[in-house]
Amino acid sequence: MITIDDFKKVEMRIGEIRSAEPVAGSEKLLRLVVNFGDEERQVVSGIAKHTADLQALVGKKFAFATNLEPRSLMGLESQAMILAVGGDGETPFAILEAPAAAPGARVK
């Protein structure tokens, strides 16, 4: 369990995907370039097996955790984490989409 104060430390913002491509040598990872309004970031995400059409992601807006420490995956630095649910065999996979929100908007 975490306190509400701990939860408030997590910054969640809407990002618009500018590009999506597979990471060479990985069946799970995608390299995303994401616009957060005031900046673009690289996000490496393990959603490749759940995403048949990468171009369908481009131009869509999703929720991301944006104040995590950067992490290196397959030699690429990931600067945020996309928020998704399911894909575990019990729950269908879905990315938390926010089509009406502006890039950079805070999730409250």
What is the pLDDT, as a whole number, of residue 46? 95
DSSP-derived pairing of the beta strands 40-45 and 30-35: antiparallel
Output the average pLDDT for the chain.
Answer: 96
What is the pLDDT, as a whole number, of residue 90? 82
Closest CA relative to residue 48, chosen from 25, 23, 75, 14: 23
pTM passes above 0.85: yes
**Averaged pLDDT for residues 38-49:** 96
What is the pLDDT, as a whole number, of residue 4? 95
Q: Is the pLDDT of residue 91 over 90?
A: no
87 pLDDT tier (thresholds 50, 70, 90): confident
Tokens at residue 101, please? Answer: 């929100």
